[in-house]
Amino acid sequence: MRNFIAFIRHFRVILLFALLQGIALTWYTTFVQFPRSQYLTTASSIQGSVLSVRNSLTKHFSLSENNKILQAENILLHKTLPHSFIKLENGLTKINDTLHRLQYEYTPAVVINSTYSKANNYITINTGSKQGIKRGMGVFSSEGIVGVIHNVSPHFSVIKSCLTEKLNTAIMLEETGQDGFLAWNGPDARTGLMTGVSNDSKIKEKARIVTRGGAGIFPRGLPVGIVDKYEVIEGESLWNITFKFAVDFRSLQNVYIIKNLLLDEQKKIEALTEGNE
């Protein structure tokens, strides 16, 4: 207490000056219009900057949660799309859910590691066998197909991406239904190849390429890319079709793993048919 009183006595002139100066400035900005408006403008500007910084920090820390919400909403959307269902009856279409059965389910995942400049490229995700993921399941993003599950551990999975030499996914030209296979020979991560298309088929630039869906890995109609250019393969009756991938593999972050609920049934009937030949 004695030290505090001694401090006051020692700096009493400066403290009195500061007090009077504060009172004068308060009266000045309160009763004189121009400095008052300038003060309020400056204060609002500072407050706005502080709020802007706070909002940016809040958005950054809540980004992960927002991504989870967005992925959940995308899954619900895909479950309502026609490619997720198989029709159980033929004939007239009725507004009756018993006519369709859900064929595909989707599990969200986050990309934690990836490559896109090697001869064969892979993507690691934070979802594994504990979430029901198995080797051979298809993977896609909100833009288009990504690849196929290659290896699985309890908490992680590695995807063999479309940027590999031998993925051999069945694809087709959406407008004509002409089918072929997806290929990639590098090094451009933005472009792929469509092989196996006869050169007597009509090809259009900017034509959409989608999944064919026959193998049961991908639903029919998921985006693959857009035709960029095409030319006849010398000595063969086939087109060499180059297309732009729908997915940008250089900035991929969120994906969905596809579970075909009817795949085992499809494999059994196909194996039975092959065994009887």
For residue range 115-124, list pLDDT tens digits in order.
999 999 999 9
CB 179 within 8 A of CB 192: no
Place of tokens 């400066």: 14
Place of tokens 């940008």: 248
Looking at residue 255, its pLDDT comes to 94
Dist CA 265 CA 153 (whole Å):
25
- The string of DSSP letters for 178-232 reads -EEEEE---S-TTEEEEEEEETTS---TT-EEEE--TTSSS-TT-EEEEEEEEEE
Banded model confidence at residue 59, pLDDT cuts 50, 70, 90: very low
Share of the chain above pLDDT 90, in %: 46
Looking at residue 275, its pLDDT comes to 67
176-208 pLDDT tens trace: 999 999 999 888 999 999 999 998 888 988 999
Calculate the alpha carbon distances from 92 to 82, 103, 153, 247 in Å.
Answer: 16, 21, 46, 37
Partners of 22 in beta bridges:
none
| The pLDDT of residue 48 is above 50 | no
Banded model confidence at residue 160, pLDDT cuts 50, 70, 90: very high
pTM of the complete model beyond 0.75 = no
Looking at residue 271, its pLDDT comes to 87
DSSP 8-state assignment for residue 95? S
Amino acid at position 149, single letter: I
Q: Which of 136, 142, 15, 130 is nearest to 78 (CA)?
A: 142
Q: Which domains does the chain have, with CATH numbers?
A: 2-61 (no CATH), 65-275 (2.40.10.340)
Partners of 230 in beta bridges:
241
Place of tokens 């609920």: 261
Looking at residue 270, its pLDDT comes to 86
